[in-house]
Structure 1
Amino acid sequence: MSHWIFSEEHQMFRKAVRSFLEKEVEPNIELWEKEGETPRSLYKRMGELGFLGIKFPEEYGGSGLDLIMEAVFTEELSRSGSGGVGAAIGAHTTIAMTNIWRYGNHEQKLKYLVPGIKGEAISALAVTEPGGGSDVANIKTTAKRDGDYYVLNGQKTFITNGVNADYVIVAAKTREKPTHRNISLFIVETNSEGYSVGKKLKKLGWRSSDTGELFFENVRVPKKNLIGTENEGFRYIMQNFQYERMTLALGCIGAAEKALELAIKYSKERIQFKKPLSEFQVLRHKMVDMAVDIEKARNITYRALYLYNSGKDCVTEATMAKVYASEMLNRVTDQALQIHGGNGYMMEYSIQRLWRDARIQTIGGGTTQIMNEILTKQLGILSRPNKLQTQ
């Protein structure tokens, strides 16, 4: 459905992106699912078309457009039917490179942002650790100063693009205390001595994105690769969470639209008791409920996007969007699979992939439970101090 937040230019861009995805992405999804990764050739192709630099300044090869234009791209990418491709590209542009754009210096942007925008280098953000999960403040990886270098030791896990990345933005502890003011971000080139990638992790969904374990054993990182100010990394991560969670919500909307589209198409084609499934009132009403659910998530998310694009604080709105959209996607894909009946459980029907891909959305970027805890503080329900309030 159209929405006032989008201009005619945004809508024209949406058509161009959708056409590209239908021709060059959707026919290859099953192959990339089997290979367990999004190929470098797709990054290069998207770089050539300007899709990886939508919001980044023209000075570094980007288009210098607004965040709403990037939101269109995010929605359409997820609507193509592969959460894995969306995760891989999103981890590169929205999560990793955004930290360099916002907090990095000119030299870092020239060296790392430019090739990333061109699709010539793949990036990743490494925050999560085996014992940490959503507890960002509990990072164990350390970075100790040694002259003009920092020496990194530790381990990261569940890192999207972690297997094939050329450089990784790593969150590491640069002092013991105070908590929340002891973490820094570093750009680590993956060909560095002491850096290694463990096994490629096998996942229920998002199979067309590579996810890996990373190990740092006395990795020497030049001081010039520190992003922003030392010990301010936690603040940088938290600030970017607002936009990251909005993009996750946008991805949920795109994927849910695809699931509903598949359910409607199947209901018109599948004959049971001598008539199409679409003629059974219970299923028609089920699909209406799905459409209403999607529209609720859309409007919550678009409001957060509008506020963020206007430079306003939207922690509450972005958190609500992430919670509602991710839970909505799980409901919608589950119902869409149910409408497909036994066929929905078969691997040759793409609805099963959408259903599998949906499950991570209530976990990644902060679980629903963490989001709700943040909202208790934002809404004034929790009166005592809460360490999650800034997330």
Structure 2
Amino acid sequence: MPFSFYEDDHEAFRQTVRTYVERSVVPNQQAWEEDRLVDRAAWKAAAASGLLGLRIPEEFGGAGSSDYRFRCVVQEEFAAVGAAAAASGFSINEDIVGSYLTRFGTARQKERWLPPMATGDLVTSIAMTEPGGGSDLRGMRTSARRDGNDWLLGGAKTFITNGFGADLVIVAARTGEERGRAVLSLFLVPTDTPGFERGRKLKKLGLHAQDTAELFFDGVRLPAEALLGEEGAGFAHLTAQLPLERLSIAWRALAASEAALRWTLDHVRQRQMFGKRLADLQNTRFRLAEMTTETDVTRSFLERCVLRLNEGDLDAVTGAKAKWWATELQNRVVTGCLQLHGGYGYMDEYPISRAYADARVQTLVGGTTEIMKDIIGRDLAGPRPTR
């Protein structure tokens, strides 16, 4: 029997996702682009359709599924209509914050935060990147210090997805120092806490419908139970979740590449050039052959990664491989597809135009391509010899 990545349950779920996308995403994308924000109605509708809380345990209102293939279906259906911005915002909520709370949260934290996440009443974010800091988490300046039984949090974050609309933010902060490098801890910060402020809703090259913000913490007082996971274990907690985070980005890249190829095939089969279809020109066929083959090969690798994730066996190095390869592929494919659209590809009325702008950030978020290659290279080089 030939290998099939998806099973009947996934395909049935796909129809549910597709209905949601047609009703709640497609008619609203332009308004979201202009507002630079996915409205709360979309989150509520997603929850009502069963798209939120897939990994959240059933006792907290979620589906309790550890099968990441359901999230893959969601990513593919969003990509099919060019809704990369909404897909990215939902991924923060589902693949990152939901997973952190499920894995590291106390019983009280789970009871408080997971149920409203599953119903779409609570939108979440995670704040790591700092002005001037980029990927250097060990150089983090945002800090939290003890004040009696409380914590006092101070600092600033930038480029924070869902940052403008979030009700709860996981904040990484320095809580100590070891050998001149920051010791990190994670904190759950409700956005109505005194001292928390949002800065600008940032304007970006792409992903216009995704709210991205600056966040500021000026003497934010947090109770002891705001600590997520163990004190001083923030870096280890972040590292433990990176395979899932990077696979999520990689799958969005794959889904976007496949969608771009479908749009382009439709275009070149209809577009007339020099008295024949654009699809009948050898250069067009060669470019499509190259891009389709690379995308198919990438799918095979990522499907294996997803199955390894389901088994709890996806390591950080493999996650880094998936992330850098798939996002660089996305940029190559989307650029090639736009070229085959000719001048039409530069027009916003064609989805390839928005996909081109949305793709660029993929090689930057979740760790740049260069960081991914360094992770892989250090693993290949092995430990340094001791003297």
TM-score range, shorter-chain basis? Answer: over 0.9
Tell whether 2:24 aligns with 1:24. yes
Q: Residue in 1 aligned with 2:265?
A: 264
Aligned to 1:176, the other structure's residue is in SS state strand
Q: Counterparts of 2:45 and 2:80 in 1: how far apart (Å)? A: 19
Q: Is the 8 A contact 2:20 2:46 kept in 1?
A: no
Q: Is the 8 A contact 1:181 1:231 kept in 2?
A: no
Q: Between Structure 1 and Structure 2, how many residues are aligned?
A: 383
Q: Is the 8 A contact 2:17 2:49 kept in 1?
A: no
Report matched runs for 1:236-247 at 5 Å: 236-247=237-248
Q: Is the 8 A contact 1:126 1:169 kept in 2?
A: yes
Q: Residue in 1 aligned with 2:309?
A: 308
Q: 1:3 to 1:363 in 2, by over 3 A?
A: farther
Cα-to-partner distance string for 1:136-156 (whole Å, 9 max, x where unaligned): 111110101112210000000
Q: Residue in 2 aligned with 1:388?
A: none
Q: Is the 8 A contact 1:256 1:294 kept in 2?
A: yes
Which range moved further: 164-173 or 31-40?
31-40
Which range moved further: 74-83 or 120-129?
74-83
Once the two structures are TM-superposed, the CA of residue 178 in structure 1 deviates from its matched residue by 5.2
Aligned to 2:240, the other structure's residue is in SS state helix
Q: CA RMSD in A?
A: 1.6
Q: Is the 8 A contact 2:55 2:98 kept in 1?
A: no
Q: Residue in 1 aligned with 2:349?
A: 348
The gaps in structure 2 that reach 5 residues or longer are: none
TM-score, scaled to structure 1: 0.94
Which range moved further: 261-270 or 357-366?
261-270
Tell whether 2:129 aligns with 1:141. no
Which range moved further: 240-249 or 20-29?
20-29
Which range moved further: 367-376 or 260-269?
260-269
Q: 1:317 to 1:337 in 2, by over 3 A?
A: same
Q: Counterparts of 1:355 and 1:3 in 2: how far apart (Å)? A: 32
Q: Is the 8 A contact 2:20 2:49 kept in 1?
A: no
Once the two structures are TM-superposed, the CA of residue 3 in structure 1 deviates from its matched residue by 5.5
Q: Which amino acid aligns with 1:129?
A: E
Once the two structures are TM-superposed, the CA of residue 277 in structure 1 deviates from its matched residue by 0.9
Q: Is the 8 A contact 1:253 1:325 kept in 2?
A: yes
Q: Residue in 1 aligned with 2:194?
A: 193
Which range moved further: 151-160 or 76-85?
76-85
Cα-to-partner distance string for 1:24-79 (whole Å, 9 max, x where unaligned): 21232222111111111111111112211111110000111222222222333233
Aligned to 2:16, the other structure's residue is in SS state helix
Once the two structures are TM-superposed, the CA of residue 119 in structure 1 deviates from its matched residue by 0.3
Aligned to 1:134, the other structure's residue is in SS state coil
Report matched runs for 1:198-237 at 5 Å: 198-237=199-238
Q: Is the 8 A contact 1:181 1:232 kept in 2?
A: no
Q: Is the 8 A contact 1:304 1:314 kept in 2?
A: no
Q: Counterparts of 1:3 and 1:344 in 2: how far apart (Å)? A: 36
Report matched runs for 1:91-106 at 5 Å: 91-106=92-107
Q: Residue in 1 aligned with 2:80?
A: 79
TM-score, scaled to structure 2: 0.95
Q: Residue in 2 aligned with 1:111?
A: 112
Q: Residue in 2 aligned with 1:330?
A: 331
Q: Counterparts of 2:181 and 2:95 in 1: how far apart (Å)? A: 23
Q: Is the 8 A contact 1:139 1:172 kept in 2?
A: yes
Q: Counterparts of 1:180 and 1:304 in 2: how far apart (Å)? A: 32
Aligned to 2:200, the other structure's residue is in SS state strand
Q: Residue in 1 aligned with 2:58?
A: 58
Identity over aligned pairs, percent: 38
Q: Residue in 2 aligned with 1:321?
A: 322
Q: Counterparts of 2:328 and 2:3 in 1: how far apart (Å)? A: 22
Which range moved further: 295-304 or 218-227?
295-304
Q: Is the 8 A contact 2:174 2:182 kept in 1?
A: no
Aligned to 2:125, the other structure's residue is in SS state strand
Q: Which amino acid aligns with 1:248?
A: I
Q: Counterparts of 1:133 and 1:181 in 2: how far apart (Å)? A: 15
Once the two structures are TM-superposed, the CA of residue 205 in structure 1 deviates from its matched residue by 0.7
Q: Which amino acid aligns with 2:367?
A: G
Q: Counterparts of 1:201 and 1:194 in 2: how far apart (Å)? A: 21
Q: Counterparts of 2:87 and 2:106 in 1: how far apart (Å)? A: 28
Q: Which amino acid aligns with 2:219?
A: N
Q: Counterparts of 2:8 and 2:320 in 1: how far apart (Å)? A: 28
Tell whether 2:49 aligns with 1:49. yes
Q: Is the 8 A contact 2:139 2:182 kept in 1?
A: no
Q: Counterparts of 1:22 and 1:283 in 2: how far apart (Å)? A: 31
